[in-house]
Structure 1
């Protein structure tokens, strides 16, 4: 499994490095992703999902130590929330930076999740930048619970489909989403 994981990370890295978009497993549901600094690739995802660019997508990191690289002011509470969250947690924080402007919401915020999935961690470490993550569905359609539920249009529309976890029938849910202000105030957007 480890050799297969390394091979898939290497293949996906090449595609993402060259500006392509991938379909990949995450610690939540299957996602569509690309280099978070590549605006052209981000726009490919918006077109594939038929999604309005006013609906921002999230980015994945491999460690919370990188939060400050992508958010101007990270509240101390963010680190505790990530460390103690029982389920995958996406934090929406203001002051987004060092990513494609196409990912930054009108209010200057970005959603960030630290992914514990081995593939995601390996790819983000190799890329040395965040990975875009958005559910593998056409906008307005239900998010697929597992690979076999992904529309063929999505599969055909990406540049590479990661060959890991495709036969898994484990039901995974989308992450909890919490807006976190620089002063530590927070609100749940999705539980």
Structure 2
């Protein structure tokens, strides 16, 4: 299947409130429309994850990031420009996202993806896409498609075909929390 067709099918599923399994700029992810609370609830249920532990989402561009965060601090732009590996930013003032995706303090974990498949998926979907590791909460993240448990495979509405054959090390993103006051806290290196 061509990547273009794979992305089209994934988008169709997300537009109907379904959840997908897809390759990202880090590990394989479970995704859905980040603005659809019912779809987000399905992801929490599949992962058996407490919904007080917020999920992250991916976007394709600076412009899209600004659609979901009220005031992006200057240090965020500096960090985005400086980092070489995928880095998720936790930013205050989340807006226009499903309420159950936003942390209790009003923040959101969000990352601009540059990896070709997930970038194109976000670009063509024209919205933020949930991106949480394809595993049951507490179990190791699936670095490659072959590492994904049957329970996760059976629990999604669509499994992307792109990059299924890969067998190489992938690691989760770095996570950095940025306060409006300029505070920087590294959550995961």
From 26, 29, 34, give the equivalent of 1:28. Answer: 26
- Whether 1:7 and 2:24 are equivalent positions in the alignment is no
4+ runs deviating over 3 angstroms: none
Contact 2:56 2:132 (C-alpha < 8 Å) held by counterparts: yes
Extract unaligned runs of 5+ from structure 1.
none
The CA deviation at 1:25 is 0.1
CA-based RMSD of the aligned residues comes to 1.0
Q: Counterpart in 2 of 1:122?
A: 120
**SS of equivalent to 1:140:** coil
Segment of structure 1 superposing worse, 129-138 or 62-71: 62-71
The CA deviation at 1:66 is 2.0
- Whether 1:189 and 2:152 are equivalent positions in the alignment is no
The CA deviation at 1:86 is 1.2
Q: Counterpart in 1 of 2:86?
A: 88
Contact 2:64 2:127 (C-alpha < 8 Å) held by counterparts: no
**SS of equivalent to 1:78:** helix
Aligned residue pair count: 189
**SS of equivalent to 2:162:** coil
The CA distance in 1 between the partners of 2:81 and 2:115, in whole Å, is 15
The CA distance in 2 between the partners of 1:90 and 1:144, in whole Å, is 18
The CA deviation at 1:77 is 1.4
The Cα offsets for residues 8-40 of structure 1, whole Å up to 9 and x where unpaired, read as 111101011111000000010000000000000
**Superposition map of 1:1-191 within 5 A:** 4-191=2-189
Segment of structure 1 superposing worse, 20-29 or 116-125: 116-125
Contact 1:64 1:82 (C-alpha < 8 Å) held by counterparts: no
TM-score normalised over the length of structure 2: 0.97
The CA deviation at 1:73 is 1.1
The CA deviation at 1:65 is 2.4
Contact 1:59 1:130 (C-alpha < 8 Å) held by counterparts: yes
Extract unaligned runs of 5+ from structure 2.
none
The CA distance in 2 between the partners of 1:147 and 1:120, in whole Å, is 15
